[in-house]
A = this chain, B = another copy of it.
């Protein structure tokens, strides 16, 4: 759509009068608003955990979790510095919580996911139920639920935060509230939600009020065991290896309404076929190592690294060892709106 509207003196004069009426010509900007394929400033990027970890730990010596409200280093997309975004619609950060610390209770309309990168035994509490977190666990704090984090273990814990902050900002739907105390009172035993809602059962007559899964911790131990079992069928998707999405047991939909979350097993030596989709995707390496080509870049990843693939950018995976990749994106939003596309193979 290359509008080559010659810029006449009459048009120029006309354009000048429009702003006073809060008007503007469409034809001069149409080709940048509606593009033939997705166009974004979002770039492929890679955060090497070995390099980033010292900075995260340093932040722990400079500010407390409570002072910071949440002590997080944002993973800013290098194409959009200063915008607190890892993709156009999503935010990601690495959060540190030290032994004995508490990140105080609050709630917000933004949905958050946590993917545990390092440590063992810290907890997240959601609406009065704690869950103890281990590496590889996928933990949810649904929109508008009270939540706090604490670390009763003896080691630091670091996790990857994924939130829909830019999306909620664009929709002008942000609400935030602090709880009067640091900790929201606990009312249910640890493990209750997973047993009650995530074991192939739902309480009789149960009606779930919100679009997010009532299960708020999908332990890696369980996920890994399932993928190990699936391996035996020896059926591999040429683009994805063995890729499963985390599911809201009440609906079968994505575990979260705004963010898809997946765990993916790539066997050693697998070479995935070229793939692209419109959901820019953040990957976190739960296990293994290898490399991926993202557009014309090569990303060499190891356990605990994070990397991001922009919308409609070709990706191929080359795991050196058997690898588990966690990933998240805005795919459910696009699917609900009829916008999501994928393409397998090269053009």
Q: A87 on the interface (CB 8 Å rule)?
A: yes
Residues of B near A336 (CB, < 8 A) are 211, 257, 333, 336-337
User: 6 closest pairs, A vs B, by CB?
Assistant: A172-B311, A195-B229, A199-B226, A201-B244, A26-B72, A27-B68
Copies of this protein chain in the complex:
4
Q: List 5 A-B contacts (CB under 8 A).
A: A23-B52, A33-B165, A33-B169, A88-B170, A257-B336
| Docked-complex contact B5 and A68, CB < 8 angstroms | yes
Per-position 1/0 for A71-96, Cβ under 8 A of B: 11111111001101001110101000
A337 partner, pick from B88, B204, B258, beta carbons under 8 A: B258
| Docked-complex contact A195 and B230, CB < 8 angstroms | yes
Per-position 1/0 for A254-274, Cβ under 8 A of B: 000110001100000000000
**Alpha-carbon distance between A237 and B206 when the two chains are bound, in angstroms:** 12
Q: A297 on the interface (CB 8 Å rule)?
A: no
Max chain B C-beta neighbours (<10 A), residue from A33, A63, A336: A33
Per-position 1/0 for A2-32, Cβ under 8 A of B: 0101001011001001110111111101100
Beyond the given A27-B68, A200-B249, A201-B223, please list 13 additional residue pairs across the A-B interface where CB-CB is below 8 A.
Answer: A5-B68, A19-B76, A24-B73, A25-B68, A26-B74, A29-B74, A35-B175, A88-B171, A170-B170, A173-B340, A196-B230, A211-B336, A211-B338
Per-position 1/0 for A286-301, Cβ under 8 A of B: 0000000000000000
Q: A: which residues have CB within 8 A of B?
A: 1, 3, 5, 8, 10-11, 14, 17-19, 21-27, 29-30, 33-40, 42, 45, 47, 51-52, 55, 58-59, 62-63, 67-78, 81-82, 84, 87-89, 91, 93, 106, 108-110, 143, 164-178, 188-189, 191-192, 194-196, 198-204, 210-212, 215, 218, 222-223, 225-227, 229-230, 232-233, 237, 240, 243-252, 257-258, 262-263, 278, 280, 310-312, 330, 333-334, 336-341
